[in-house]
Chains A and B, each alone.
Chain A
């Protein structure tokens, strides 16, 4: 521990203690805290200490501004809520009054005191300690100026589902260049697999295809399908992105998309991606006829020529000689100012709920399989049939919440599957006249026109059984069950166990983050929740930005949502990007770490730790450097460096030690630690 505070100060500090209505004042005696600061911290430079109902209100801010001007304050400490909430507010207030914003310190007596304690006396004493810590710390602050960096006008959109398409089109229409990188051979995402979309039942292809075509033909959009981002360097305004364009083995300058190669290719494979395993494609293929771009790809893992060395049927028959077996992966480097991640979702693997029989019992289908089954362009031309390919089911059971709202799998609600189940109930009734059962826990139809759709399906005669299905089995007990799939369920409204024999079961599987979401997040220097959904900057007030400047998120990559919400989020992300581009340059917080090269031993301990990829290592000089434009000031490296070579503006060792000294000031009554108040 460092020595006791004995140095004197010439700074003039103002302390402002907030009531936050009763949020703080209900537990902490805020007046006493202010009074104490005025009396006891006088020799620490405190010239004024006030308490006020709402410091963040315009009146509260004016209070600070007035004191700066009239009392000549040189430092400001606000004791209120978390810096996450209002640090910027008070910094701006200081700036308005002519004080450098970084000479203001916000300490939290709400999240760290009033909200977590019930003992009023102890909490008040703790608040005093926190204020004292803030005062000691702010004395060590120095005036800082924000960094200004220019913004490159181009944008990278990753993922060509409906969310990514929307974002790309909005930006391109505004006149700025967009690179759209899509992993599959075509854009379209999940929506391209659907037949009808709830709640209006318009045909998915009819509303999606025009947008896909716009992407393909837009002069401002560079579309890269069958491609993946492999590296991201740089920072907001100036990202350098490396994209791997996988070899298509098709010369796209020559290919006309005539489809002869697909037709003639002798190698048929089960299409696990677009057809969800329910249909076939060839080794050379476009996933679906309306694919954008229209050029096929050769899947070299399945192509006979690549595997056995003979065939080349496509090459012989292609009328434009567009097949090129010698193509290789191509690496492209892009310069962009902003990035939108719209990588979407994967579906819950129904095999994990073994008692529902998927992949054991032939006529148990997943929701995405059913989408293909009911799609006029799907493997059965839209005929809803059992897995034998011919029999039309007479009874169908739709099981909601498969893998969702379930402690064993995912706790969350997948948000779209109630509506999707209702859509299926309608389609089955309409196309086959079968009896349809929906097994649900709760029906969640909260968006516009959704509940009306539910009413409609009810009126059409679909049967709703409330209860979580225990098991789907082919073990019949009664003659009427023979040859059927039996759904065993507790009907919680009727209060009895039921066994309902059906011909077909559809599992409404939940939405899950992409299987590679953690790797993708790392690549782009952002974070995702432990589930894997990308974390937005603020769940309510900033749902499209991420914690990394210049990286935005849209669509299901952020969490389960329907098409309207995905589109809205895509457009919102685009608006944020456009706002940035229009500013031409961006001011960055000067809260940064920096390495003292003379102290750095080159141990590289810090190198892998930075969550924002801001640390660079110079092999030639064997020293580490922090890129100030990338660094977000999180402090991880500062704490990790065994040589003490890294320090952070606003969180230097001097500042932290001073704050600790302040916290431990002797003339505060340290209450008994029964509640663990001195955390």
Chain B
């Protein structure tokens, strides 16, 4: 069975997050996803526009929604892979539903282009939500031909998809487990990453570098403390901030972290046996080849080879048997 989706790629996937798009396109047929791109879509306004012009930012998104509603043949589900796109689309749709004035204003604006959008017509969902809740982890497991055994992963959700929780999609909004479970299903070792929903810096990289560096440092440092081989993201902005600014951050703090940041779709592709090149691997700034070669996957050299000395802090002491540790419910089921 294939799941047909109206696909809103967003600007990032065209350029900086090309590996995300490539890997998504590569794995889609394997997991039964059929992508139909929304014709003539435009920018979602990213994180900044809503702070500058409220109505215009909603009208901008409204146009995408109107186009999607028009085009919907056989599906009403609009999928965005970028968390910021997802949030903006979802936000405008739900604001229009509850705010009649906004609904009117947006539709007035859309009329100039001969468009109209009835809020609630399409269902806006993030790629991770679709994969985990519709395709299902069991289905993913059946596709795995090369389990990522031995790869230690920090699952990083960012702040935009779990909160607020539209339609109860996530098990826990403060400490979600969907990506954790997905990564375990493809054989990776997943750390209990305490910073999984913390801020990646957002647009601070554009307006206040020291703040951005500190936010990036916290995440990379956190993952390194747990001896993660790499961090997995589901958002182009998170990936860009943590990957592209990592070396600058290191310079700023006189540190030498080397924490590759990959898209979860890239790892799914690897586990499904696809070739690294097809999945856009090797395009990241912080080279993942070393981490991946540990599990026998050879990645072409990155375009920008950065020499970094690895300097891992001593491994955390394992908790010795003392008082019994309370068990998470269903822990066996998750850890198998």
Interface set of A (CB-CB < 8 Å, partner B): 270, 277-280, 351, 353-355, 357-360, 362, 366, 369, 373, 379-380, 385-390, 471, 473-477, 483
Interface of A is mostly: loop
Judging by beta carbons under 8 Å apart, are A386 and B322 in contact? yes
Q: A354-B175, A475-B222 are in contact. Are A359 and B325 (CB under 8 A)?
A: yes
Which of the listed residues A369, A389, A390 has the most CB atoms from chain B within 10 Å of its own CB?
A389
B305: CB under 8 A from chain A?
no
A residues near B174, Cβ cutoff 8 Å:
353-355, 471
Mark B185-224 against chain A: 1 for CB-CB distance below 8 A, else 0.
0000000101100000000000000000000011001100
A355-B174, A388-B320 as given contacts; A360 in contact with B192, CB under 8 Å: yes
B74 on the A face (CB < 8 A): no
- Whether the pair B322, A390 counts as a contact (CB closer than 8 A) is yes
Q: Shortest distance in angstroms between B175's beta carbon and chain A's nearest beta carbon?
A: 3
B98 at the interface (CB under 8 A from A): no
Q: In the complex the two chains form, what is the Cα distance from A114 to B319 in whole Å?
A: 67
Instruction: Judge whether A278 and B323 touch: CB under 8 Å.
Output: yes
Enumerate chain B residues within 8 angstroms of A277, measured Cβ to Cβ.
324, 326
Query: Across the interface, which residues of B come within 8 angstroms of A357, CB to CB?
Result: 194
A357 nearest in chain B by CB position: B194
Q: Is the CB of B323 within 8 A of A387?
A: yes
Residues of chain B at the chain A interface (Cβ within 8 Å): 172, 174-175, 192, 194-195, 217-218, 221-222, 225, 316, 319-329
A359 near B319: Cβ-Cβ < 8 Å: no
Further contacts, 4 of them, CB under 8 A, given A279-B323, A385-B322, A388-B322: A353-B174, A358-B326, A388-B323, A473-B194
Q: What are 17 pairs between A and B in contact, CB < 8 Å? A: A277-B326, A279-B323, A354-B175, A359-B325, A359-B327, A360-B328, A362-B319, A369-B326, A385-B322, A386-B322, A387-B319, A388-B319, A388-B323, A389-B320, A473-B195, A476-B221, A477-B221
Q: Chain B nearest CB: distance from A635 CB in Å? A: 37
Residues on B with C-beta less than 8 A from A473 are: 194-195
**Is A475 within 8 A of B322, CB to CB?**
no
- CB nearest neighbor in A for B176: A354
Chain A residues with Cβ below 8 Å from B192 are 360
Contacts of B324 in A (CB 8 A): 270, 277-280
A362→B225 contact, CB < 8 A: no
Which residues of chain B have C-beta atoms less than 8 A from A359's C-beta? 325-328
Q: Report how far A379 CA is from B322 CA in the complex, Å.
A: 10
A477 touches B319 (CB 8 A): no
Q: Hey, which chain A residues are within 8 Å of B195, CB to CB?
A: 473, 475
A379 neighbours in B (Cβ, 8 Å):
323
Residues of A within 8 A of B328 (CB): 351, 359-360
With A351-B328, A475-B222, A477-B221 already in contact, the answer to whether A389 and B323 are too (CB < 8 A) is yes
Which residues of chain B are near A355, meaning CB under 8 Å?
174-175
Residues of B within 8 A of A278 (CB): 323-324
Q: How far is the CA of A605 from the CA of B209 in the complex (A)?
A: 71
Q: Are A351 and B329 in contact (CB under 8 A)?
A: yes
Given A475-B218, A475-B222, A477-B218, answer yes or no on A387-B325 (Cβ-Cβ < 8 Å).
Answer: yes
- A538 and B330 alpha carbons, distance in the complex (Å): 41
A369 to B323, CA, bound (A): 11
Contacts of B326 in A (CB 8 A): 277, 351, 358-359, 366, 369
Contact among A354, A358, A360, A476 with B225 in the assembled complex (CB-CB below 8 Å) = A476
Partner pick for B194 among A270, A369, A373, A475, CB 8 A cutoff? A475
Chain B nearest CB from A377 CB (Å) reads 15
Closest to B222 in A: A475
CB–CB B194/A474 < 8 A? yes
In the complex formed, the residue of A with least CB distance to B326 is A359
Q: Are B323 and A475 in contact (CB under 8 A)?
A: no
Q: How far does the Cβ of A385 sit from chain B's closest Cβ, in whole Å? A: 8
Residue of A nearest to B320 (CB): A388
Which 3 pairs across A and B sit closest by C-beta, in order of nearness?
A389-B322, A354-B175, A388-B322
Cα–Cα, bound, A351→B222 (Å) = 22
Taking CB atoms, residues of chain A closer than 8 Å to B327 are 359
The answer for the CA separation of A471 and B222 in the assembled complex, in Å, is 15
Bound Cα distance from A476 to B221, whole angstroms: 8
Residues of A contacting B217 in the complex (Cβ-Cβ under 8 angstroms): 477
Provide the bound-state CA to CA distance between A3 and B174, in Å.
Answer: 63
Chain A residues, Cβ within 8 Å of B321:
389
Which residue of chain A lies nearest to B198 when distances are taken between CB atoms in the complex? A475
Judge whether B322 and A387 touch: CB under 8 Å.
yes
Q: How far is the CB of B249 from chain A (nearest CB, A)?
A: 13
Contacts of B221 in A (CB 8 A): 475-477
Report Cα–Cα, A379/B225, bound state, in Å: 32
Contacts of A373 in B (CB 8 A): 323
Task: Verify A380–B323 contact, CB threshold 8 A.
Answer: yes
A360 neighbours in B (Cβ, 8 Å): 192, 328
Docked pose: A283 CA to B317 CA in angstroms: 33
Docked Cα-Cα span, A355 to B218, in Å, equals 17
- Chain B residues within an 8 Å CB radius of A483: 316
In Å, the complex CA distance between A388 and B172 comes to: 29
Residue of A with least CB distance to B327: A359
A280 cross-chain contacts in B, Cβ below 8 A:
324
With both beta carbons as reference points, the residue of chain A lying nearest to B317 in the complex is identified as: A483
Residue of B nearest to A369 (CB): B326
The CA-CA distance from A390 to B195 in the complex, in Å, is 29
Q: A477 vs B215: C-alpha distance in the bound complex, in angstroms?
A: 10
Chain B contacts for A354, CB-based, 8 A: 172, 174-175
Give the shortest distance, in Å, between B92 (CB) and chain A (any CB): 26
Contacts of A476 in B (CB 8 A): 221, 225
A369 vs B324: C-alpha distance in the bound complex, in angstroms? 11
Chain A residues within 8 Å of B322, by CB: 385-390
- Residues from chain B with a CB closer than 8 A to the CB of A385 are 322-323
Query: What's the Cα separation between A385 and B323 when bound, in Å?
Result: 9
Q: How far is the CB of B183 from chain A (nearest CB, A)?
A: 17
Q: Are B225's CB and A475's CB within 8 A? A: yes
Which residues of A sit under 8 angstroms from B225, Cβ to Cβ?
A: 475-476
Q: How far is the CA of A351 from the CA of B323 in the complex (A)?
A: 18
Task: Please name all residues of chain A whose beta carbon is closer than 8 Å to the beta carbon of B329 when the two chains form the complex.
Answer: 351
Tell me the bound Cα distance from A354 to B328 in angstroms: 10
Complex: how many Å from CA A373 to CA B324? Answer: 12
In the assembly, what is the distance between CA of A476 and CA of B319, in Å? 18
Taking a contact as CB atoms under 8 Å apart, the answer to whether B218 and A362 are in contact is no
Determine the residue in chain B with the shortest Cβ distance to A350.
B326
Tell me the bound Cα distance from A471 to B324 in angstroms. Answer: 23
In the complex formed, the residue of A with least CB distance to B214 is A477
Residues of A within 8 A of B218 (CB): 475, 477
Q: Chain B contacts of A388 at CB under 8 A?
A: 319-320, 322-323
Identify the closest chain A residue to B223 (Cβ).
Answer: A475
Q: How far is the CA of A6 from the CA of B328 in the complex (A)?
A: 72
Docked pose: A279 CA to B175 CA in angstroms:
28
B325 and A362 within 8 A (CB):
yes
A23 CB → nearest B CB, Å: 38
A297 to B175, CA, bound (A): 40
B194, B225, B325, B329 — most chain A CB neighbours (10 Å): B194
Most B CB contacts (10 A, CB to CB) among A357, A359, A373 go to A359
A-chain residues with CB within 8 Å of residue B175 when the two chains form the complex: 354-355
Chain A residues near B172: list those with CB within 8 A. Answer: 354
B217 closest partner in A (C-beta): A477
CA distance A359 to B327 in the complex (A): 6
Give the chain B neighbours of A369 by CB distance below 8 A: 326
Q: Kindly list chain A residues whose C-beta atoms are within 8 Å of the C-beta of B325.
A: 359, 362, 387
